[in-house]
Chains A and B, each alone.
Chain A
Amino acid sequence: MDWGVIYEYREMFIRGVGYTILFTSVGVFMGTILGLIFGLGRLSKNPLVRWPSVAYITVFRGTPLFVQILLIHFAAIPEIWGLFSEGEPPSAVFSGFVALSLNAGAYIAEIFRAGIQSIDRGQLEAARSLGMDNGQAMRFVILPQAFKRMIPPLGNEFIALLKDSSLLAVIAAPELAYAGYATAKSTFARWESYLTMAIVYLMLTLIISRFVAYLEKRFATE
């Protein structure tokens, strides 16, 4: 094996790690916001709010992320952009943010829903009887308790998102998998490139799972 190849392409790998962390962070952050909105939307009694939320969650959970990335990058973004501007559409990095956020949002919406539904109905009734309105009861009583139960599935989702960001290689977003893939293709050093990729992903997921374990401990009730 010729590990010198990895050193030769180190810039790409280092930049790739940076972008992978960036893609995952943006996906987690935007996904959580979208997840909260659509998770609550799904629980709404108003069908005009509920049905769009159900539709969004169904579509993004029911189709492969790979397909979503292709659709968003090659079709949706250039088309939509073309309606407003003659100039160049945003780069693959932007497409990556959009695709990962929308995908994560759908999964996190379900995590929010499950978390909220797991809180005993009596909690809501108690909060209401203290004079809180529905929104206050949700913010101060239900969500804080639900969040604690959501930590393990959220941690799972973050790890999944980190690994799934590798699919962005197909649109040449300069993340880690793209670095490994491009290196393998231009040097024939497959073992070296793919193993380096695997090891770095493993290190990154280990860091996330350690962090999630810490959060779980921190928020433990007992």
Chain B
Amino acid sequence: MLKKKSMKALLLACMLLMMAVMAAACGGGDKGSSQPSSGQAEAGKEAAAGGEKKVLKVGTDAAYPPFEKMGPDSKPVGFDMDIIKAIAEVNGWEVQIEHAGWDPLFEDIEKGKRDIAISTITIDEKRKKKYDFSDPYFDAHQLIMVPESANVTKIEDIKDMRVGVQSGTTGAALAEKILGKGNTKLRGFDDMPSAVEELYAKRVDAVVGDNGVLNDFLKNSGKAGYKVVKDPNVVPEQYGIMVKKGNKELLDEINKGLKTIKENGKYDEIFRQYFGEEKK
């Protein structure tokens, strides 16, 4: 009898604890999400009037070093983050940068859950139909990363190879064009490090991806015996900062900020920090 009672007490205690934890979690969640976009718009007006700072939610996919990666305190760091922070400084915004993941990032912008996406997003026609982009802030071209011994000089050479890419990127689209849709030799991963990992493990023969990222792997991943190949016939690309379609006001501010940091040398300073004296 006593045993039954103490069991009941224990169960009740457990349930209370769970409820308390859930309530705390919800409370915490509310703080994060209780800023509807209309509220932000008003905050923006206040900022103009010299009141509080405008708070903007910035999303990224923090798995693309050196542009963005997860810092030790689980805050994204990298070239893109420094650029958006510099732009924020010019415009007097406060930015909350969060890791969203590549796919959710596009959805968040579409639904207005985030204001700004900066994540080495290439400006292309397909994306421009659904989203708006700032002026370009980085010139990119697709590179082919292969073992040093590989005989690859142009993109067509990967036709019969097993190729690793990050799914949904322009590099993936380029490789798909060469290998054909639905080719099992084309392996799409969730992030770039996984694709390069497969190259190191010899399970793919080549990786197609952006210059900034693959050069960084070549320099910093500590693996010797690999090279990157640039095919001059591949059309260059440009990264842009992405916002919800039609959000012209925000876009103008971003472009103004970008222009300012390019003029006052801040952009060059950040560029040198991540890419050295490499030609832009």
Interface residues of A (CB under 8 A from B): 8-12, 15, 74, 78, 87-89, 91-92, 170-172, 174, 178, 181-182, 184-186, 188, 190
A185 to B167, Cβ gap below 8 A? Answer: yes
Contact of B181 among A12, A171, A185 (CB under 8 A): A12
Residues of A within 8 A of B168 (CB): 185-186
Residues of B within 8 A of A78 (CB): 201, 203
Known A-B contacts A89-B201, A184-B103, A185-B103; the reply to A172 vs B188 at CB < 8 A is yes
Residues of A within 8 A of B197 (CB): 74
Contact of A174 among B106, B184, B203 (CB under 8 A): B184
Residues of B within 8 A of A170 (CB): 189-190, 194
How far is it, in angstroms, between the C-alpha of A174 and the C-alpha of B164 when the chains are bound? 13
B202 to A88, Cβ gap below 8 A? Answer: yes
Residues of A within 8 A of B202 (CB): 87-89
Residues of A within 8 A of B188 (CB): 172, 178, 182, 185-186
Q: Let me know if B160 is at the binding interface, CB within 8 A.
A: no
B189 to A9, Cβ gap below 8 A? Answer: no
Known A-B contacts A185-B167, A185-B168; the reply to A92 vs B203 at CB < 8 A is yes
Most buried by B among A15, A171, A172, A184: A172
Known A-B contacts A15-B182, A170-B190, A172-B188; the reply to A181 vs B167 at CB < 8 A is yes
From A91, which residue of chain B is reached at the shortest CB distance? B203
Residues of B within 8 A of A172 (CB): 164, 187-189, 198
Known A-B contacts A74-B197, A185-B168; the reply to A88 vs B203 at CB < 8 A is yes
Residues of B within 8 A of A8 (CB): 181
Flag B87-130 by CB within 8 Å of A: 1 or 0 each. Answer: 00000000000000011001100000000000000000010001
A9 to B201, Cβ gap below 8 A? Answer: no
B37 to chain A, nearest CB (A): 22
Contact of A188 among B102, B106, B176, B198 (CB under 8 A): B106
Contact of A11 among B176, B181, B189, B190 (CB under 8 A): B181
From B201, which residue of chain A is reached at the shortest CB distance? A78
B191 to chain A, nearest CB (A): 10
Most buried by A among B126, B172, B176, B198: B198
Q: Let me know if B140 is at the binding interface, CB within 8 A.
A: no
Q: Let me know if B218 is at the binding interface, CB within 8 A.
A: no
How far is it, in angstroms, between the C-alpha of A220 and the C-alpha of B167 when the chains are bound? 49
Known A-B contacts A88-B203, A172-B189, A185-B103; the reply to A9 vs B182 at CB < 8 A is yes
From B180, which residue of chain A is reached at the shortest CB distance? A11
A186 to B201, Cβ gap below 8 A? Answer: no
B181 to A9, Cβ gap below 8 A? Answer: yes
Q: Let me know if B173 is at the binding interface, CB within 8 A.
A: yes
